[in-house]
A and B are shown apart, each in its own frame.
Chain A
Amino acid sequence: MGEPILRLEALDKSFGALHVTRAVSLDIRPGEVHAIIGPNGAGKTTLINQITGQLTPDAGHVRFKGHDVTGQSVHERARLGLARTFQITSVMPAMTARDNVVLAIVSQSRQGFRLWPDAQLRAQGRAAADEALATVGLGRRAGVIAADLAHGERRALELAMALAQQPALLLLDEPMAGTGKGETERLTELLRGFKRRIPMLLVEHDMGAVFALADRVSVLVEGAIIATGSPAEVAASSAVKTAYLGEDITP
């Protein structure tokens, strides 16, 4: 399957006395969707933040596309092709949906420090942005200020921004959280369309989505990965059942 796109080597992180990441090793192969499931407070978001560089691990290494990026900043990793969505939707509230995506495109193509407007660049950016917005179902909402979008629309916008970054790896922190059932299904279909093309690390509580999308699932409990395998293997694992204390994790 080739060199993994992302490799975590024995990551460790504590907040004071709280040990939130315990010797986490994990890799994501090219084209793979790797889901991470685990109870609230297990340390899933903290793990993502160490991958993006928002948090620095106390020990261990993050290798992305073969580079050790452990010491690199968030924007450096983003430029290498690491894109993410946040658990709490995070967009530019005062910009239109279109300008949000244009910003992602312009930053990705490293034009974001040009001090002079460029009509051609702008037109290209807008066209690409409108295309990305149409992909996530926001084609008609391009001109709306992001703060005025509905919650689900903002989630979709954030996804459009991440996709516009042309990511080498997409980190999704509970993309289905707070969206309705129909929306979850639409989003799952949308992500399935990018399967094989964009490797993803998917943190998600919605087991339907996990089973529909993931090639492998890792189970994170109290900061440690207790099982990794195909969705069916993980669902059958007794250790996982114990950890979830009777919660049914089959879809």
Chain B
Amino acid sequence: MAMTAANDNNPPPIWPRIAASPALGWGVIGLIGLAMIAGAAFGQPFWLTMATRIAVFAMAALALSFVLGQGGLVSFGHAAYLGLGAYAVGIGGEHGLAEITLLLPLAALVGAAYAALTGLIVLRTRGVHFIMITLAFAQMAYFVFTSLSAYGGDDGLTLWARPTLFGFDVFKRDIVLGLGVVALLALLYGLLTRVVASPFGQTLQATRQNEARAEALGIDVFRARLVAYTLSGAVAALAGAFLAIATGFVAPAYMHWGRSGELIVMVVLGGTGQLGGALIGATVLMLLEEGLALVSEHWKLWLGLILIGLVLLRIGAIARLLRGGRHG
């Protein structure tokens, strides 16, 4: 209710506001697409695979950034939506559903439904409670799929064929799949950027900045959060659908809490103020992981140290976010 205006004045001095412009988001998407084309052109399948993975996780981070950055809702369970989208494709495939124009809406629907249902509960809590209960619901989904032996249980599920597009088997070529992911990423980024600029975007930011004032203005804060959370669940599930298609495999591990944490790191790394930050954060984190794995077998240690360093630089921003103040 009360503002701590004086403290909200100063952006963190160390970290430049690299994500301050939507153009940067478009730049990242363009680079990912270029990397794919280059990988295909120069016969470097690894570039293509890597760029496709980056695009998938950028999409998931984008979904998280929408609720976390704009709505101030620090969800520690977004990997669940990734997993749900993946299982929508996996289980759909088991039952002969192989058309992407059906699989993607199905995945989005499943993600939206789980977000809306759990949102009815988790969105009644705030702060640390919210973090814990989103984690709990993600773990619940994780254990449900672990015990779902009809669909592979712990071991997961292999997708024997890639889906078709209007009956055509276009995605059997990796470059088409990769560019398909990039195209959807671009579409979703464009859509969500518009939503952020819409009246609803302002409403959502208002619920983050000052809940009491928002309510007093007649804003149904709970409903605004539920809409945002549901939208985010749908987008994250779309990313999950492509994760399944790209890897040809679905497993409960996709829902692991570590993955949820990774998504938060991506969003915070790139800056929460603009959606484009999530795309940058996802790209940087995934390249870091991959690069460090090449140079050292203790890469997780190095990654951890680098992340701690980076996050320390960003801690002011996180604190402001939890207080509901201005972005860093």
From residue 195 to 242 of chain B, which have CB atoms closer than 8 A to chain A? 195, 197-200, 202-203, 205-206, 209-210, 212-221, 223-224, 227
Given contacts A103-B206, A113-B227, A147-B326, contact A90 B1 (CB under 8 A): yes
A121: Cβ under 8 A from any B Cβ: yes
B3: Cβ under 8 A from any A Cβ: yes
Chain A residues within 8 Å of B221, by CB: 75
Q: A107 is contacted by which of B194, B212, B219, B227 (Cβ under 8 Å)? A: B219
Asked if B3 contacts A112 (CB within 8 A), the reply is no
A161: Cβ under 8 A from any B Cβ: yes
Q: A73 is contacted by which of B195, B198, B200, B215 (Cβ under 8 Å)? A: B215
Stretch at the interface among A34-42, A93-101, A223-231: A93-101
Asked if A108 contacts B203 (CB within 8 A), the reply is no
Q: B218 is contacted by which of A54, A107, A118 (Cβ under 8 Å)? A: A107
Quick one: closest A residue to B3, CB to CB?
Answer: A93
Q: A147 is contacted by which of B3, B195, B198, B213 (Cβ under 8 Å)? A: B3
B85: Cβ under 8 A from any A Cβ: no
A102: Cβ under 8 A from any B Cβ: yes
A86: Cβ under 8 A from any B Cβ: yes
Given contacts A84-B216, A116-B198, A147-B326, contact A93 B206 (CB under 8 A): no
Q: Chain A interface: which size bin? A: 35 or more
CA distance A93 to B212 in the complex (A): 13
Asked if A90 contacts B2 (CB within 8 A), the reply is yes
Asked if A93 contacts B199 (CB within 8 A), the reply is no
Asked if A78 contacts B215 (CB within 8 A), the reply is yes
Asked if B215 contacts A90 (CB within 8 A), the reply is no
Asked if A102 contacts B224 (CB within 8 A), the reply is no
Binary CB contact string for chain A from 59 to 79 against chain B (1 if under 8 A, 0 otherwise): 000000000000001110011
From residue 86 to 139 of chain A, which have CB atoms closer than 8 A to chain B? 86, 88-95, 99, 102-104, 106-108, 110-118, 121
Chain A residues within 8 Å of B295, by CB: none
Binary CB contact string for chain A from 21 to 57 against chain B (1 if under 8 A, 0 otherwise): 0000000000000000000000000000000101000
Quick one: closest B residue to A102, CB to CB?
Answer: B202
Given contacts A92-B209, A93-B8, A102-B202, contact A117 B217 (CB under 8 A): no
Chain B residues within 8 Å of A233, by CB: none
Chain A residues within 8 Å of B202, by CB: 95, 99, 102-103, 106, 112
Q: Which of A54, A73, A99, A114 is the most central at the interface, judged by chain B CB atoms within 10 Å of its CB?
A: A114
CA distance A117 to B325 in the complex (A): 24
Quick one: closest B residue to A108, CB to CB?
Answer: B218
B327: Cβ under 8 A from any A Cβ: yes
Q: Which of A86, A112, A161 is the most central at the interface, judged by chain B CB atoms within 10 Å of its CB?
A: A112
Given contacts A90-B1, A147-B5, contact A114 B213 (CB under 8 A): no
CA distance A66 to B286 in the complex (A): 60
Asked if A74 contacts B216 (CB within 8 A), the reply is yes
Asked if A78 contacts B205 (CB within 8 A), the reply is no
Asked if B197 contacts A93 (CB within 8 A), the reply is no
Binary CB contact string for chain A from 135 to 146 against chain B (1 if under 8 A, 0 otherwise): 000000000011
Q: 5 smallest A-B Cβ distances: which pairs? A: A78-B218, A94-B326, A74-B215, A112-B203, A147-B5
Residues of B within 8 A of A (CB): 1-3, 5, 8-9, 194-195, 197-200, 202-203, 205-206, 209-210, 212-221, 223-224, 227, 325-327
Q: What 11 additional pairs, Cβ within 8 angstroms, besides A75-B216, A92-B209, A147-B3? A: A75-B217, A88-B3, A93-B3, A93-B325, A94-B325, A99-B202, A103-B206, A107-B214, A117-B197, A117-B198, A161-B217
